[in-house]
Structure 1
Amino acid sequence: MTLGHPAYQQIRMHGLGDVLREHTRSRPTMTAVVDGEHRLSWPELDQRVNQLAQYFLANKLDEEGRILWLGQNSFRLLECILASAKIGAMVCPINWRMSAAEIGSVIEDFTPQLVVWQQRDLGDTAEQVRAAARHHCQWIAHDGNDDASYESLIAGQKPVDPELAIHSDTPVVAMYTAAFDGKPNAALLSQSAMLYQSLMIAYGYSITDQSSNLNSGPLFHLGTMLATFATFTFGGKNVFIARVDAEQMLKLIEAERVSHAFVAQPTLLQIREINKDGKYDTSSLWSSADAPEWTSPLCMPKDSPFALQARVYGQTEVMGFTTFGFLGGGGAGRVSPLAQLRIVDAQGNEVPPGESGEIEVRGVQVMNGYYHRDDENQRRYHDGWHRTRDLGKRLEDGSVAFVGPKTTMIKSGVENIYPAEVEGCIRQHPAVAQVCVIGVPDPKWEQNVKALVVLKPDTELTADDVIEHCRQQIASYKKPKIVEFVSEIPCLPDGQPDRKKADELFGGGGYPVSG
């Protein structure tokens, strides 16, 4: 069997760096990014990316090189990913709201050669991390102004494209997923997965080269990064704001004629209050100042396929969404043409429509595996399929309904919180004998975190003590808002917490569902 002429294997290689190269040729006068005082055309963005790629190479960052982004939203994160795409390296954007201890754990796990960090808002945390770190690497402040800062270092490099032959299946983004087993895992996402998924997202969100996407959602989440790369892939304009600021967002919506954005409900309420007199022109995004089209944080043209059928199933490990309501059917919609999906029983046999089982996925958008998690990668692999650890069922019309996580997940606002991680933190307290974490319904945030705690004999602890203990160890949004001290926790025969029974006894519920 022939695969064609060998020379054509290189000719056919096409990744994110190649998309940038072609935009430079095809859209030389169009705006690629806007971020504060920075306004770059495609050729200007490509030049900066080439300078950054040359800096990476000069510092021995090439294929399998690792860069950690510790910062808020910035066009420089996009530059880091694109420069990495050109040389075969990968970037890990982490949640900047994590505690110093959590960030330190990620650094020890990911072992980056370079950390690109932010002085503003994160300077104190970064200093704590560096002082305690056992893994030593180079740190560059992306918003610094001295000779060792990001801008100074890339300015000293020649804007020469490295022109390396990088396979599109090379991982380019490492995205830490929520800690379903008590320890976060970095899902490795390839250039091809990002490109292919961008085609689906652009279609679903109605993104074109005339689109203006406000990067107002946290880019350490894949759900918000999808719109960034769909906009990039189709030659649209990406507008960046470091963090949520309702009035600044309104100014950008007006100035940049924003057509797509991420606006969570609390921010929307602020926007409505600030703009109740129509001070800012938001007609590029909504029909009037009170944003009547808003139905979810993902804001886009109201007649886009996704807005009309906002039903999906997915996870970070499969590059976001793998089913879409706009592809038809009920539940969470039909499977993307980029993937195959099946529902299997405990023995791995596919079950008939109507029966629940574990969702398995295969195809170009599935991750390349978890970074340095050989055992977990083996557990997730099943006969050529990726085990999602999610439960679903195939409907009679062939579409898919999501039943729920095999490992219970708590959804608080836009954040996914896994009980095992919070329990592991609380269990470290010397006064705690047992703990079970459940989600309780909340009218504003969907769920809150509640901790059921059994104390060791002759010990005392208050709810505030437990909450403060968590605040010191894990991200603040993961800490329990409610702590109840109980005499015992219901358990299953294997000794694990009986979460269903705990929910019944202590007010749990409201867990996320789709379809």
Structure 2
Amino acid sequence: MIHSLTLSDVLADHARSRPQVTAVVDGDVRLTYPELDARVTRLADALAGRGVAAGDRVMWLGQNSYAVLELLLACSRLGAVLCPANWRQSRDELRFVLSDLAPRVVVWEPSDQAAELADEATWVRAGGAYEELVAGGSPREFPQVDDAEPVLALYTAAFAGRPCAALLSSAALVAHSATLLVVRQMEPGFTFLNDGPLFHVGTMMFCLATLQIGGTNVFTPAFDAEEVCRLVDAERVTQAFLFGPMIDAVAAANAGGKYDLSSLRFVAHSAEWDDMITVDDSPWCRSKMGGYGQTEVGGMLTFLGLAEGGAGFAGRPSPLVQVRILDPEGVEVPAGEVGEICARGKTLFSGYFARPDLNEVKSRYGWHHTGDLGRREPDGTITFIGPRLRMIKSGAENVYPAEVERALKTHPAVADAAVIGVPDPSWHQAVKAVVVLRPDAAASAEDLVAHVRGELAAYKRPREVVFADAIPKQGFTPDYDALDAAYGGGNYPGA
């Protein structure tokens, strides 16, 4: 395995080459890379003593902690898989995840929803019991693990109402980190504050990129604006998991200038914020941290930072992947046409855990099908259109609801919209729009049809527009089954 490089290998090398660098900060816990490496070795041995072997799953059920990184690296050393579960889940959701993943060991922070599901034989409490587990392990050598083996499971993709565990290998995570290091221009000394949830790829991808460069990962249980300010000041944090409302909250918490946030090299946001931090000039920050991504591609598939000034607002692909815009038959569509964003390359996931049928569908024609629609612009950049979900067939033409919905929502009177296909005796299906108007706004069906005709090809315009008080949703997306039932949808291709 001379060409293999696992997350465990990255840690072991840092222990040799960065013996004095602080790897982890979490409250009173401060570990150098050699100290972290020694603990991970003991933890791996202790997990093996509890029956964890290659391919087995370990779950973390709690808020952010240094233990998440230690468990991930220990699983890498064993060839096992760590799943940082969503600690906000309901009891029913957690019961499903436990049944689906069947973890050999669960390390948990007690909570009301988890308490009745806890199994004393396999569950280890975070804190004292976890530290006893680590201390009980012995230092030893472990067999080399293939970096193509899955090491991280993140739940996502609730296509049928229940989420699926996307499996990411060390090879994919190291490749994604390498790209992020370039676009973010991360350097030795980079310090990342893990204040976003580590069950989300957006936080995890920066945690692992920081590990990759030999930087410092600072952990805090969850986002708290005042605590973020304190930690940025105390640990000279370079970057944190922050976006719009979180940035506003941090700026408000530091309105009196109590904390020195100048070490934070971050995206420009507001006059108050920009005065507190150092506005960063990396491609990642100049482009407002933009691009297109999902858990299944390791985080980001395309970056605006690789396409500054480009026509497509999702940017250009990572240099370690290929992206194609494909039609339903797996044929690449011409530039300017809408199709499904499909990819293959070094950062892509290994499939969903225990979902063979779904994996076959998602990897057909030799490409990972993201389930999202996009368009390649004439300059080669990518525009993200929206979730595919389903397609309408009108005559010989494919009409994607997300594209028509997007056009409808650009009308100033439209608050929300969803598009379905209804049976049509001549055209197989016709496009029907369900629209919610903004309060005190007015628009007729004819107005909206004319607006869409100005935005899209004529065959994509709605043949009918109906008005509603609200659009039924599944999560953040329209509940198309409910819309079909309420408004006569059906006759979809393949149904």
State the TM-score bracket (shorter-chain normalisation): 0.7 to 0.9
Q: How does 1:149-168 map to 2 (within 5 A)?
A: 149-160=129-140, 162-168=141-147
User: SS state of the match for residue 389, structure 1?
Assistant: strand
What is the rounded CA distance, in whole Å, between the counterparts of 2:160 and 2:284 in structure 1?
32
The corresponding residue for 1:201 is 180
Contact 1:99 1:125 in 2 (8 A): yes
Q: Give the deviation of 1:311 after TM superposition.
A: 2.8
- Aligned to 1:80, which of 71, 75, 82? 71
Is 1:258 aligned with 2:246?
A: no
SS of residue paired to 1:39 = strand
Report what 2:102 is aligned to: 111
Work out the percentage of aligned pairs sharing the same amino acid.
42
Give, in angstroms, the shift of residue 181 of structure 1. Answer: 2.4
Normalised to the residue count of structure 1, the TM-score between the two structures is: 0.74
State how 1:91-490 maps to structure 2 within 5 Å.
91-119=82-110, 122=111, 124-130=112-118, 138-143=122-127, 145=128, 149-160=129-140, 162-285=141-264, 292=271, 302-309=280-287, 310-328=289-307, 329-331=310-312, 332-407=314-389, 452=472, 489-490=486-487
SS in 2 for 1:25: helix
Higher relative CO (Cα under 8 Å, sequence separation at least 6) belongs to 1
Relative to the length of structure 2, the TM-score reads: 0.77
Runs (4 or more) in structure 1 with deviation over 4 Å come to 286-291, 437-442, 449-453
CA distance in 2, matches of 1:287, 1:194: 23
Partner secondary structure for residue 349 of structure 1: coil
The reply to whether residue 491 of structure 1 matches residue 469 of structure 2 is no
Partner of 1:13: 4
The whole-number CA distance in structure 1 between the counterparts of 2:29 and 2:328 is: 53
Deviation at 1:205, TM superposition (A): 1.8
* 1:271-291: CA deviation from partner (whole Å, max 9, x where unpaired): 223321111111111699997
Aligned residue pairs total 415
When the two chains are superposed, the root-mean-square deviation of aligned CA atoms in Å is 3.3
- Unaligned residue ranges in structure 1 (runs of 5+): 1-9, 411-436, 443-448, 454-469, 471-477, 497-515
Shift of 1:72: 0.5
The 1:451/1:334 distance shift into structure 2, 3 A limit, reads closer
Tell me the amino acid that sits aligned with residue 320 of structure 2.
L
Letter in 2 for 1:159: P
SS in 2 for 1:103: helix
Query: Secondary structure of 2:486's partner?
Result: coil
2:266 touches 2:279 (CA, 8 Å); kept in 1?
Answer: no
Residues 3-56 of structure 1, C-alpha deviation per residue, up to 9 Å, x if partnerless?
xxxxxxx23322111111110011101100000000000000001100100011
Query: How far apart are the structure 1 equivalents of 2:214 and 2:317?
Result: 26
Contact 1:205 1:300 in 2 (8 A): no
Letter in 2 for 1:250: C
Structure 2: runs of 5 or more not aligned: 390-400, 406-433, 440-468
Determine the C-alpha separation between the residues in 2 that align with 1:293 and 1:204: 26
Structure 1 residue matching 2:74: 3-state secondary structure: helix
Shift of 1:270: 3.0
The whole-number CA distance in structure 2 between the counterparts of 1:23 and 1:112 is 29
d(CA) in 1 for partners of 2:268 and 2:324?
Answer: 44
SS of corresponding position for 1:130: coil
CA 1:164–1:367: 2 relative to 1, 3 Å: same
Secondary structure, counterpart of 2:311 in structure 1: coil
Change (3 A) 1:159 1:294: farther
Q: Distance in 2 between matches of 1:266 and 1:292?
A: 15
Cα offset, 1:262, TM superposition:
1.3
* Distance (Å, rounded) in 2 between the aligned partners of 1:272 and 1:115: 37
CA contact (8 A) 2:193 2:241 kept: yes
Secondary structure, in 3 states, of the residue corresponding to 1:49?
helix
- Quick one: which of 29, 38, 42 aligns to 1:51? 42
Aligned AA (1:38)? V
Check the 8 A contact 2:303/2:315 in 1, yes or no.
Answer: yes
Deviates more, 1:225-234 or 1:271-280: 271-280
CA distance in 2, matches of 1:106, 1:203: 35
| Amino acid in structure 1 at the alignment position of 2:180 | I
- The aligned amino acid for 2:281 is D
